[in-house]
Amino acid sequence: MKGKKILVTGGAGFIGSHTVLALKNAGFRPIIVDNFSNSEKWILKELEELLEESVIYHEIDCCDKDSFRALFEKEKNIEGVIHFAAFKAVGESVQNPSKYYQNNIGSLSYLIDLMQEFKVPNLVFSSSCTVYGEVDSLPVTEEHPIKKASSPYGYTKQVCEQLIQDNLKANNLEQAIILRYFNPIGAHPSGLIGELPLGIPNNLVPFITQTAAGIRSQLSVFGNDYKTSDGTCVRDYIHVMDLAQAHVKSLELMMQKKKSYIFNVGTGEGTSVLEAIHAFEKANNLKLNYKIAEKREGDIEKIYAATSFAEDKLGWKAQYSIEDAMRDAWKWQEYLKNKS
């Protein structure tokens, strides 16, 4: 894999930046493509500190056809693309669906055209367990039915998956691996890069860390009468370092086997919201101020992954615990506090 060029769209984002590190450590040559609409440019400096070398990046919007095409012309011999670039806020997608359809589906469609034209053989696509909707049984396998999406964001992921499958059938793509993430959390163990929500966070862990840091006065736990062990929603929380490694393994698998796959990427264990809060408290020896609030519309009660297919075919398994993730997330939050 030494020196093989991999385009990483959204490579300055939360999962993208950690994947850039993992790619470099595996011998690949990552090239970041990002318009910095949902990330910060200073993350590149942190990446360079961790890598002890400069990073290659292009400030491009993947929906800007001329600029994206010029990049493919400039960067010869690209061996693969990891496509993270997408809008991802469920609530915003409900308020502004056109923005999500145009960006999430449009950028992938154009990317596939460019990959065909410039003969780029390997695509790893960033999908989500939201494609399953409210599931009938647990754990969720890759064969679970795809139900009606509960948001425009979820629907864009379903359409993007179908777009990839149709292009594989039409031989417009050589091979692709679709990764259905469960709930990415944590940060790099150095505390130099991590999740950087702009404005009000959409996810639990930034709310936890911001509450612990005093940025928010209180954490709301939405609902405590679900049919779960403690009444709170259950999710499969996966450390971002494990998730990053799954992308590297996906590229290696495609390059070796020349085949396409869909994989769930989770730990295989369900953790309730209260259990996640207590894991944070234990890992960092802190107490959190939280309250039980009304249920939120659209929240799925319980979901976690079946991981045996990924373990078998991808040769990948989550290594980090939820306490590891909570410790790293807090280290990152403290770094942000000191930085500001």
Domain 5-186+237-266 has CATH 3.40.50.720: yes
Q: Which of 57, 100, 132, 153 is catalytic?
A: 153
For position 1, what pLDDT does the model report? 62
Q: C-alpha distances in angstroms, 107 versus 9, 94, 112, 113, 151?
A: 10, 19, 9, 10, 19
Cis peptide, bond prior to residue 121, ω within 30 of zero: no
Does this model's pTM top 0.95? My answer is yes
Q: Cα–Cα distance between 220 and 208 in angstroms, integer?
A: 9
Domain boundaries, the chain: 5-186+237-266
DSSP string, 91-108: HHHHH-HHHHIIIIIHHH
For position 73, what pLDDT does the model report? 96
Distance between first and last Cα of the chain: 39
Q: What is the pLDDT along the chain (340 residues), one digit of tens a residue?
A: 679 999 999 999 999 999 999 999 999 999 999 999 999 999 999 999 999 999 999 999 999 999 999 999 999 899 999 999 999 988 899 999 999 999 999 999 999 999 999 999 999 999 999 999 888 899 999 999 999 988 999 999 999 999 999 999 999 999 999 999 999 999 999 999 999 987 778 789 999 999 999 999 999 999 999 999 999 999 999 999 999 999 999 999 999 999 999 999 999 999 999 999 999 999 999 999 999 999 987 788 999 999 999 999 999 999 999 999 999 999 999 999 988 7
Tokens of 94: 């409900």
Tokens 């809008």 belong to 87
How many CB atoms within 10 Å of residue 165? Answer: 15
For position 340, what pLDDT does the model report? 74
For position 202, what pLDDT does the model report? 77
For position 2, what pLDDT does the model report? 74
**Active site annotation includes 320:** no
For position 161, what pLDDT does the model report? 98
DSSP string, 194-251: B---SSS-SSHHHHHHHHHTTSSS-EEEE-S-SSSSSSS-EE-EEEHHHHHHHHHHHH
Over the range 74-103, which residues count as b (16 or more CB within 10 Å of their CB) and which as e? ebeebbbbbbbbbbbbeebbeeeeeebbeb
Tokens of 183: 């709930």
